[in-house]
Structure 1
Amino acid sequence: MDSVVRRLLRTKPAEQIVAEGGHGEGGELRRTMTLWQLTLFSVGATLGTGIFVILGQAVPKAGPAVILAFVLAAVTALFSALSYAELAGTIPVSGSSYSYAYATLGELVAWVCGWCLMLEYAVSVAAVAVGWGEYLNHFFRDLFGWQLPAAITHSPGDQGGVINVTAILIVLLATWLLLRGASESATANAIFVLIKIAVLVFFCVVAFTAFESGNLTPFVPMGVAGITAAASQVFFSYIGFDAASTAGEEARNPKRDLPLAILLSLVIVTVVYVLVALAAVGAMPWQQFDPETTEASLALIADRATGSTWAGLIISFGAVIAIASVVLTVLYGQTRILFAMSRDGLLPRIFERIDPRRQVPVANTLIVATFVSVLAGFIPLGQLAEATSIGTLFAFAIVNVGVLVLRRTQPDLPRSFRTPLFPLTPILGVIFCVVVMLGLAGVTWLAFAIWMAVGLLAYFLYGFRHSRLSRSVR
């Protein structure tokens, strides 16, 4: 029994993880991604439909003080971002928080973390893809006056849906870009991100033309409780800043660029969110925000400000591009995490096979794309999609604990970035993650518990027996 427990808690030396970086069965990943591309990867994964949708839900909770809610949520995310930055610079590999947990808390915790990331990435990208058809229809309706039939834009059983063809199409488009290579994917993502930032800047310019300072008073109509309630909701608009850490083995200068990319992306996203929130509540009284029509809240404000529909059309186009960017970056992150887990023997070896010509894990990418396409095309995700948030927060908490452990066990390990105010920062990171998790609905916890039970069963049936670390130390 003791030997089993020791195997479950055995850590993989950070030096060994770094030494194995970039190598897979059949070839190596190619280091092509610059600081700019890495930053935009994280921005692409973070700056998605959240700001187009969640603002309309958060404003009724906090009023004009929703601006402070975005700042509070950013501070909450910052604690975990600083921990990610330290570990990404110390252990610059594809596995993100999975690899960090393996180096600090042991194999079982690493598996649990990797399993949580599968929930975060695979299910969340399917959930995002499901909504693409609706935004596409909104765009077509404003531009041409017609829309695609519900049978191909909704999942079975959802508003007359038969198969969500539009969701499958956006997943296939992202897959095609990923198979072309990491550099090509990064370039496409950079274009997507710059377009959606330009659209949000356009919204701010238009909204500020209708800005009335009286709309900001009273600034805190719902009190501090309203700000914290809104902050808990908008926090999920920040999930995704860790995407750059999944590109650790394809970055040109990972020790320098990964920490910078993670922190820069959080700053960029926060500035965009605060400006959009300020413009929105200044242009339209907060009492008029309807949580039932959140999808079109920014488009509605833009239309009101200009007195026509052309501005809302541009906003709808921005939402379509935003989803495409999220699908691309999150699908990429999922494949790289599975690649790292396969290299450790915890998943079948097919996930680590690299095409020698393209230098990308082709089979891995196709398997993930097929799985996500089935989810997005045929299954109404419902509450399961919300469970992605709890999986993400769990992974964030593990990363914060990992910083504390690694500083204690390997204080002399070279670190290109050190979390400031240690150990206060990672401790606060853990506390904030737990507080937000406790605020989630009971059905979300149930879905998470079921997912974890399936994950532990999979580990003991396969990963425990095939772990390369365990075989190497027998």
Structure 2
Amino acid sequence: MASSQSREWEASDRKLRRELGVQQLFFISFGSIIGSGWLFATLNGAAIAGPAATISWIIGGILVCFIALNYAEVSCMLPRSGAVVRYPHLSHGGFLGFIMAWAFLLATVSVTGVEAEAAVQYAASYATNLNLTTTSNGVTVLTGLGLLFAVLLMGVFFLINFLGVKFFGEFNRWVTWWKFAIPVITFVLLFFAFKSSNFSSAGGFAPLGGGEVFNAVATAGIVFSYFGFRQGLDFGGEARNPQRDIPLATIGSVVVAAAIYILLQVAFLGALNWNAAGVHPGDWAGLATSKWADGPLYHALNAAGIALLAYFAYVLLADAIISPSGTGLIYMGASTRVFYGMGMHRDLPGGLTRVSERYRIPWVALIASLIVGCFFLIPYSGWALLVGFITDATVLTFVMGSLHLQVMRRTAPNLERPFYLKGASILSPLGFLAGSMIFYWAGFDNLRGVIASVLVGLCLYTFIQGPVRGRFSRNVGLAIGVPYLIIFAATQYFGPLFSNSLPFLLYWALTAAEVLAFAGLVWRFTNQKREVHAAWWVLFMMFATYLLSYYGSYGPLKTPLVPFPWDNLIAVVIGLISYYWGVAAGYQTEEMKEIAESGTGLVTPEEEEMERRLG
């Protein structure tokens, strides 16, 4: 017999309309993949790795496929809306579930803002009389008027999502056809200006070294450009045939996008005109601040000297608004499902699970997504400022797919698996390493902000989920959470994020001690101690990677203490230890036990019809 909470989750999921087929799920994933990233990442990749950025796109696509394959088995077995934030609760319990949900929420809800920023910034290139952008500390940011336009655009995303998932799926399908066509036409036209000498005469194929090939995967916007693959999973509870449609849509979107990205990178490199960009031939790093930095593909088409390409450049400018807007639309829907999922597990207030009877969408979560998304525009008022944060916060959650698969095979072996991943003994560790290595390749400058943002949110666990789910009393939660918040915030102020007045090793040791003390107190007072044991591995991975990032080849030291490739080998060891620790730490949670005893992870049409008849 399922518990009242389990029945509540199932009943709430049944209210969501199952209207999305494989084509619509594909377009949701593919449409969110093709956003603002492809407009910038070709130049950023070339600036970091030179022509070898082509390899970076291939590596990124392969790694994301490893991650997606592991998620596909679990999402077919347990199709749920807000799936990514709900699975950790089933495999490792509420404490780790909160950590991963919080990290994913930080990343997902801010994407809506970054895509709105991208659209407004491109509009500023021809609407010069409106003064939508300005420069601050060498970075393009939105003015007050620009921020107003970004907020209005997010309001449009809100209205389309509010009309319901069926209208959303149909609307997105037509927008995504446009988003598919424009990148394809762009690389085809750029090949008319192709010069093969750009791949060899300007310092060779990998002029900046092999290590930068991996660094580009994480920091050039390459992995960011693939992030949309998981959006089909977040709409899993609204799929007509999840067993077939989810894996086809998820893997298919990655493969198609990878082919387009690789061809775009090759075409851009071949069409690169050093003189037009105002950069000395071979100065690949100089591209990042060149004349082409504000719109590389647009400038490459214009500089080709071919009339057809110059005319199409104006179409590309229009797409620079449409593509980010389409992705922002999808991510507002996705972040709504994240709020919904966190409300289900009481990571956040339960009112977020309210579903509109008329439109069948989680309307309170949708409002929260709009408000929080707008909030991110205040400190991160420019596209470049927000992308790095989003990338690192998201890849931290990538590692969970492999753990879900292995833990659930152990805790729910008899559940039907419409998609069964063969060779998981190899593909699961590879999927985990894909996420953990991208997390490391992002470098110290990005890691410091993400780790601080994720760990400061731990106090919310003691304020909300712990007391609500009966792990300890509210007074105990406040007694643990309030001192932690004050002490942790003070340490971060004196650390590398703000004043940077503490030596890094001392700052790192203090931060680690504070987090471990917090987790130890939660373990001491909770009545579900296994939940805390199940989360130790992620704290180890975060702090070990953070320490290595400072002393490794992607850190601030001019002469790294641990140079490439030895730092990467150590990162692999950290990843493998974390993977096997994480698999061993998983257990059969109460929710997973109920699902396993039911014999199916699906909310069936018969159950849905019975729920409707019962009112």
Scaled by the length of structure 1, what TM-score is found?
Answer: 0.87
Q: Deviations over 1:74-132 (max 9, x none)?
A: 11111111111111111100122222211211111111111111111112322232232
363-372 or 244-253, larger mean C-alpha shift = 363-372
Task: State how 1:254-265 maps to structure 2 within 5 Å.
Answer: 254-265=242-253
Equivalence for 2:344: 343
Q: Deviations over 1:242-285 (max 9, x none)?
A: 01111011111112211111101101110110111122122226
Equivalence for 2:300: 301
- Superposed displacement of residue 147, structure 1: 4.2
Equivalence for 1:464: 466
1:318–1:17 Cα change, 3 Å: farther
Maintained 8 Å contact 2:298/2:317 = yes
Q: Deviations over 1:327-376 (max 9, x none)?
A: 11111111112112212333222211111111112222122212212332
Q: Deviations over 1:146-179 (max 9, x none)?
A: 442237999xx97682251121021111101000
- Superposed displacement of residue 227, structure 1: 2.7
Equivalence for 2:238: 250
Equivalence for 1:38: 25
Equivalence for 2:168: 185
Q: Distance in 1 between matches of 2:237 and 2:19?
A: 9
Q: Distance in 1 between matches of 2:111 and 2:142?
A: 23
Maintained 8 Å contact 2:86/2:345 = no
Q: Deviations over 1:168-217 (max 9, x none)?
A: 02111110100011111122222222112211112122111122333333
Equivalence for 2:311: 310
Amino acid at match of 2:187: C
1:410–1:19 Cα change, 3 Å: farther
- Superposed displacement of residue 457, structure 1: 1.0
1:468–1:369 Cα change, 3 Å: farther
Q: Distance in 2 between matches of 1:280 and 1:89?
A: 38
Asked if residue 59 in structure 1 is aligned to residue 42 in structure 2, the reply is no
The RMSD of aligned alpha carbons is: 2.9
Q: Which residue of 427, 432, 435 corresponds with 2:434? A: 432
Maintained 8 Å contact 2:116/2:154 = yes
Q: Which residue of 83, 86, 102 corresponds with 1:99? A: 86
Maintained 8 Å contact 1:153/1:165 = no
Equivalence for 1:416: 418
32-41 or 191-200, larger mean C-alpha shift = 191-200
Equivalence for 1:23: 12
1:152–1:225 Cα change, 3 Å: closer
Q: Which residue of 195, 219, 232 corresponds with 2:218? A: 232
Maintained 8 Å contact 1:129/1:376 = no
Asked if residue 90 in structure 1 is aligned to residue 91 in structure 2, the reply is no
1:153–1:188 Cα change, 3 Å: farther
Amino acid at match of 2:181: A
| Structure 1: segments with no counterpart, 5+ residues | 1-12
Maintained 8 Å contact 2:336/2:368 = no
1:294 alignment partner, SS class: coil
Asked if residue 291 in structure 1 is aligned to residue 288 in structure 2, the reply is yes
1:376 alignment partner, SS class: coil
Percent pairwise identity: 22
Q: Which residue of 249, 256, 260 corresponds with 1:272? A: 260
Amino acid at match of 2:131: P
1:379–1:238 Cα change, 3 Å: closer
Q: Distance in 2 between matches of 1:159 and 1:41?
A: 29
Maintained 8 Å contact 2:16/2:237 = yes
Amino acid at match of 1:264: G
1:393–1:379 Cα change, 3 Å: closer
Q: Distance in 1 between matches of 2:140 and 2:194?
A: 39
1:354 alignment partner, SS class: coil
| Structure 2: segments with no counterpart, 5+ residues | 275-281, 472-526, 529-588, 591-615
101-110 or 211-220, larger mean C-alpha shift = 211-220
Q: Distance in 1 between matches of 2:315 and 2:210?
A: 35
Q: Distance in 2 between matches of 1:356 and 1:17?
A: 21
Say how many residue pairs are matched: 451
1:304–1:81 Cα change, 3 Å: same
- Superposed displacement of residue 425, structure 1: 0.9
Amino acid at match of 1:49: S
1:315–1:181 Cα change, 3 Å: same
1:212–1:116 Cα change, 3 Å: same
Q: Distance in 2 between matches of 1:342 and 1:125?
A: 20
Q: Distance in 2 between matches of 1:336 and 1:117?
A: 11
Asked if residue 372 in structure 1 is aligned to residue 359 in structure 2, the reply is no
Equivalence for 1:198: 181
> Which structure has more RCO (C-alpha within 8 Å, separation ≥ 6)?
1
Equivalence for 1:360: 361
Maintained 8 Å contact 2:183/2:260 = yes
- Superposed displacement of residue 450, structure 1: 2.9
Equivalence for 2:569: none
Scaled by the length of structure 2, what TM-score is found?
Answer: 0.68
Equivalence for 1:110: 97
Q: Which residue of 434, 445, 448 corresponds with 2:447? A: 445
396-405 or 339-348, larger mean C-alpha shift = 339-348
Amino acid at match of 1:416: P
Equivalence for 2:505: none
444-453 or 344-353, larger mean C-alpha shift = 444-453
Q: Distance in 1 between matches of 2:430 and 2:155?
A: 40
- Superposed displacement of residue 235, structure 1: 2.3
Q: Distance in 2 between matches of 1:351 and 1:312?
A: 43
Equivalence for 2:66: 79
Maintained 8 Å contact 1:179/1:362 = yes
Q: Distance in 1 between matches of 2:96 and 2:468?
A: 16
1:44–1:128 Cα change, 3 Å: same
- Superposed displacement of residue 221, structure 1: 3.5
Amino acid at match of 2:242: P
1:229–1:347 Cα change, 3 Å: closer
Task: State how 1:78-227 maps to structure 2 within 5 Å.
Answer: 78-138=65-125, 140-141=126-127, 146-150=128-132, 161-163=143-145, 164-217=147-200, 220-222=205-207, 223-227=209-213
- Superposed displacement of residue 55, structure 1: 0.9
- Superposed displacement of residue 17, structure 1: 6.5
- Superposed displacement of residue 72, structure 1: 1.0
Q: Deviations over 1:264-315 (max 9, x none)?
A: 1101110110111122122226847621233311011111235454222111
- Superposed displacement of residue 461, structure 1: 0.8
